[in-house]
Chain A
Amino acid sequence: MTSMEKRLQKELQALTKDPPAGVIVNTESVSQNMSEWIVDLYGAPGSLYDGEKFQLSFKFSPRYPFDSPQVMFIGPNIPVHPHVYSNGHICLSILTDDWSPALSVTSVCLSIVSMLSSCQEKKRPPDNAIYVKTCSKNPKKTRWFYHDDTV
């Protein structure tokens, strides 16, 4: 087992045993391919996304956890949010520049839930149309500019 698989195994164990509220890993997807996970995310109660269900796709390179995972929303329901593009790409600094190997699938999910929860108004990023037309399939290839605006 490689160090990447070993770590993912530990994460999977912890996440299935003790999932945080609103985060459910699709173990069926993981059992087929350890390097690609699908995680169901539920909008937090009281937030604008209360009752909504989303799906996150995680793809891990062999260099995980030194290399950040590729994370994006997939499926029919992409949250309408100022930092989520309609193709599922997420503008979140821990997914690229601020990634740390001490982060995990769980902490990434919690960051995304909290990003959604702090949203005041459901709207797409202002550059959504042009970005979705011109971006690479892999959100990690985008050079994100993290504007520190309050959501």
Chain B
Amino acid sequence: MSAAASSSQGGAEGGTHPPGEEEQGESSAYYECNICLDTAKDPVVSMCGHLFCWPCLHQWLETRPNRQMCPVCKAGIGKDKVVPIYGRGCTKPQDPREKMPPRPHGQRPEPENAGGIFPGFGFGDGGFHMSFGIGAFPFGMFASTFNFNDGRPGPPPPASPQHAEEQFLSKFFIWVAVLFIFWLLIA
């Protein structure tokens, strides 16, 4: 498995162009970033000799902060293990690593569910609301009985379907609670 995975890594990538490719592409491929495949911008080179745009490499290092490996050859890599490259046209050489790294994109990772173990769980919203209702039950009773006002987020605006559902649930649980206390008294 892993053998198959690593065998072709880096093979088809990294500027191996067949004969017949126009010379332009042939020569510029040497200076392509191994991540965006474009001519490296704010270039840095790793100890293992692999070229990247600093913004591209930075984003990759941020993606896996505790497994920092060269994307091409898996050698160790890090901010202090790359060398910036300054060409002649570079009038005001400034270490790209010192520049404000490009702000990372806002991330909205998909909710990770347990994936394959309990596919039935987390399906639809019903389960979530239900467990919330049950979980909040003691607080709800407390708050409604003693009129407590702690810092909990306020209820959803009235007239939303969730509000109605919560109203129903809280009423339902208050009745359950009343019945339970009644049962305790007579038992």
Interface residues of A in 114-151 (CB under 8 A from B): 114-115, 118, 131, 134-136, 141-143, 146-151
Binds B, one of A24-32, A37-45, A50-58, A86-94: A86-94
Chain A CB within 8 A of B135 CB: no
Main secondary structure of the interface of B (DSSP, over half): loop
Q: Which of the four size classes fits the interface of chain B?
A: 35 or more
Residues of chain A contacted by B34 (CB below 8 angstroms) = 101-102
Interface residues of A in 8-26 (CB under 8 A from B): 10-11, 18, 20
Give the size of the chain A interface in residues (CB under 8 angstroms): 43
Known A107-B9, A141-B116, A151-B4; further 4 A-B contacts with Cβ < 8 A: A66-B59, A101-B71, A136-B119, A146-B1
Given the contacts A92-B5, A118-B4, A104 and B10 also touching, CB distance less than 8 Å: no
Contact B115–A151 (Cβ < 8 Å): no
Considering only CB atoms, which chain B residue lies closest to A67 in the complex? B63
Which residue of B12, B17, B116 contacts A104 across the interface (Cβ within 8 Å)? B12
Contact B7–A7 (Cβ < 8 Å): no
Min CB–CB distance A38 → chain B (angstroms)? 19
Chain A CB within 8 A of B13 CB: yes
Interface residues of B in 54-72 (CB under 8 A from A): 56, 59-60, 63, 69, 71-72
Q: Mark B30-65, 1 if CB is under 8 A from A, else 0.
A: 000011111000000000001000001001100100
Residues of B within 8 A of A (CB): 1-14, 17-18, 21, 34-38, 50, 56, 59-60, 63, 69, 71-72, 74, 105, 107, 112-113, 115-119
Considering only CB atoms, which chain B residue lies closest to A2 in the complex? B105
Min CB–CB distance A142 → chain B (angstroms)? 5
Chain B CB within 8 A of A74 CB: no
Considering only CB atoms, which chain B residue lies closest to A115 in the complex? B4
Given the contacts A10-B38, A118-B4, A102 and B10 also touching, CB distance less than 8 Å: yes
Chain B CB within 8 A of A80 CB: no
Q: How far is the CA of A106 from the CA of B16 in the complex (A)?
A: 13
